[in-house]
Amino acid sequence: MHTNYSRIIAGTMTWGSWGKQLLASQMAGLMHHCKNAGITTFDHADIYGGYTTEADFGNAFAQSGIDRESIEIISKCGIQYEAENRQNTIKHYDYSADYIIWSAETSLKNLQTDYLDLLLLHRPSPLMHPDEIAKAIDQLKTQGKIKEFGVSNFTPSQMTMVDTKNTITANQIQFSLTDFDAMHNGTLDHMITHSIIPMAWQPLGSVFREKNEQINRIHTVLDNLTEKYNATKDQLVLAWILKHPAGIHPVIGTTTPERITNAVKATEIELSLEDWFTLLVESQGHKVP
């Protein structure tokens, strides 16, 4: 029985010191806003805020009065980052069983919760081994500290390798209208084949962050579609992702209440087949083969 993650997921990377530096009361308010809008899943990683954002969120969660059973919390581990509270001399990855367990338990303490709904390995390491990973994941699951296990930024072959000893529930990947390699390199095919939930980080891609010919072409199409669908541009960009048959869950990074509400409404938009392909063609700059 899979955990039921909300279709739109709230990414917390910019909630703390790597972004908006929200106070506990502001974070708690944002959590309530997400919940009221229909977002119940919150995405973390131990490294966010240089290993500080989970604890900030945990304090806000404790203040919020939100029932733990009514939300889902995701976190990630494995990146050893150069930060004030770590003695790392170089950014690297650690997927020893001891480190995965220590990292998950530290996240639990910081988030002020007894369990994670989903623990992800943050990025693939050339030195990872499925047996070593399984040692940690089996223990964490047996102790009830994590419900499900997944990966992030993993290729099909890496998923296959890890999956030999661990059941992968989700893979969080970069995917958007401007970053769609996962459709062509077998990543999404693999996830459909193996019933793995795709979650997409940076789901708006560079559509609102860059100015170039590609972005101009996309905006020309979006301008035409906003009226047709009675939708905002960011909703249409999310609707494009949501149409993919893999059932992708966009992880949105915004802390703006209005944009959070907007994002959830994107789940009600059904892009036509031709409009979907028009956006793809303008993004890639050529017809499909």
Tell me the catalytic residues: 48
Q: If we measure between CA atoms, which residue out of 207, 129, 126 comes closest to residue 165?
A: 129
Strands 72-77 and 116-121: parallel
Which element (helix H / strand E) includes 123? none
State both tokens at 43.
Answer: 């995405």
CA distances from 233 to 132, 211, 219, 259 (A): 45, 15, 8, 11
Which element (helix H / strand E) includes 192? helix 187-193
Measured between alpha carbons, how far is 60 from 243 in angstroms, rounded to an integer?
Answer: 34
b/e code 257-272 from CB counts within 10 Å (16+ = b): eeebebbbbbbebebe
State both tokens at 26.
Answer: 């502001």
Q: Do 119 and 75 meet the contact criterion of CB atoms below 8 Å apart?
A: yes
State both tokens at 213.
Answer: 């010919």
